[in-house]
Amino acid sequence: MALRSLLALLILLASCTLAQAEQEPCLERTIAVSFSRSDETPVTSVDSLALQGAYGGHAVAIRSIKPRERLPRVVLLVDTSKSMEPSQSAAAILAERFVSGLPSESEIGLAFFASKYTLMAPLGKDRGKLTFALEALKNRQYYAEGQTALWSAVGEAAKIFGAPTSGDTIYIISDGGDNRSRTLMRGVLEALTGSGIRLFAAVFAGPVGIRRRTPEELEAPGMMKEAVHTAGGTLLFDPESPGGYYSDLDMVGTNGKPTRFAVDLNRQVSQIVNFYQLEISFPEPIHKPQSWRLQIVRDGQSSNERLQLIYPTLLMPCQ
């Protein structure tokens, strides 16, 4: 009887320990962080940087930072709603040049969306289906519907990754207007940041394909900039950036040098591909979404004012 009682007690203790372990909040995260310089010089090493993070009144411990271990998977999400019809050729050209800028071994998926979401090519290294679909895009085969469910489409695109890992990326090409989604932008962003998926975008709201715009589209660039900033990405065609609009999408100018567009697109592709894995830990559990700040601490020996951090600005409870 004593032996049986002892075994029962041990089983009970083990069960309690397991339950406690399952309830133990995860206090450590791995976050994708990219670096960029305003003077466009490449960032070759961040080993000597001192970083500091905080949310609310709490400090975030920086455990380590190291180059990414694998290439990110990328889902290209292209708006084919009626409002994008004047910009369809430019959108297809941009999509092709974006894809060509990614390493050949990158896994890329492609989806179109208007009021509905359509997967055109699953994640993979074969560019054949992407090329065929983007060529059809140039030939006006996908522009018809007037309504746009942008944030619903982003939520669907996130499912392509299956089990996402830090650095996986959704790249949106759109005018940024949304008049159909049943899912709010905030909810989608919380889901993305909670799973480690980053969001980058190009918003056609300037001279390329310019036309009279709806109220949703007029507000779109600012909203999209907020969205990509929250989800650790950047925006092409930034309305607040000098020269952020482009009269054309040529990669080489008449002077034989890369155009402003080429420089900005290549920098954005580099931010997607060449990220770092930042390991952090929290002093206590996070029970609700928290905005946080990550910054470079100057060491007094070198100036880092021109070095910009690109990271998801929202911390989510463990999923």
Q: Is 285 in the same domain as 208?
A: no
Buried/exposed code over 193-215 (b: 16+ C-beta within 10 A; e: otherwise) = bbbbbbbbbbbbbbebbeeeeee
CB 290 within 8 A of CB 59: no
Above pLDDT 90, what percent of the chain? 60
Q: Is 83 in the same domain as 30?
A: no
Q: Is residue 111 one of the residues assigned to a domain?
A: yes
Cβ atoms < 10 Å from Cβ of 91: 27
Q: Is 196 in the same domain as 285?
A: no
Q: Is 110 in the same domain as 206?
A: yes
Domain of residue 31, residue span: 25-68+277-315
SS3 (DSSP) at 259: coil
Q: Is a pLDDT exceeding 60 seen at residue 305?
A: no
Q: Is residue 6 one of the residues assigned to a domain?
A: no
Q: Is residue 122 one of the residues assigned to a domain?
A: yes
Q: Is 163 in the same domain as 306?
A: no
Higher-confidence residue of 303 and 291: namely 291
Q: Is 50 in the same domain as 167?
A: no
Q: Is 225 in the same domain as 293?
A: no
CATH code for position 215: 3.40.50.410
The DSSP secondary structure of 194-244, one letter per residue, reads: HHT-EEEEEE--SSTT-----HHHHHHHHHHHHHHHHBT--EES-TTSTT-
Helix axes 128-138, 88-101, angle to 10 degrees: 160
CA atoms within 13 A of residue 144's CA, in its CB half-sphere: 5
Q: Is residue 13 one of the residues assigned to a domain?
A: no
Q: Is 239 in the same domain as 134?
A: yes
Cβ atoms < 10 Å from Cβ of 3: 7
The encoded tokens of residue 300 equal 């007094």
Q: Is 122 in the same domain as 203?
A: yes
Q: Hunting for tokens 């018809």 — which residue is that? A: 144
| Counted domains in the chain | 2
| The most confident of 88-92, 109-113, 300-304, by mean pLDDT | 109-113
CB 198 within 8 A of CB 188: no
Query: How far is CA 86 from each of CA 72, 81, 187, 211, 254, rounded to the nearest angstrom?
Result: 32, 10, 30, 8, 26
Q: Is 140 in the same domain as 260?
A: yes
What's the whole-number mean pLDDT along residues 235-248?
Answer: 74
The encoded tokens of residue 142 equal 């996908």
Query: How far is CA 204 from each of CA 115, 170, 277, 297, rounded to the nearest angstrom?
Result: 18, 17, 31, 36
Cα angle: 261, vertex 210, 111; to 5 degrees: 70
Q: Is a pLDDT exceeding 90 seen at residue 160?
A: yes
What's the whole-number mean pLDDT along residues 163-169?
Answer: 95
Q: Is residue 16 one of the residues assigned to a domain?
A: no
Q: Is residue 251 one of the residues assigned to a domain?
A: yes
Model pTM?
Answer: 0.87
Q: Is residue 17 one of the residues assigned to a domain?
A: no
Q: Is a pLDDT exceeding 90 seen at residue 18?
A: no
Q: Is 53 in the same domain as 168?
A: no
Q: Is 156 in the same domain as 226?
A: yes
| Predicted pLDDT at 193 | 96
| Predicted pLDDT at 111 | 97
Among residues 54, 102, 42, 55, which one has the least CA distance to residue 76? Answer: 102
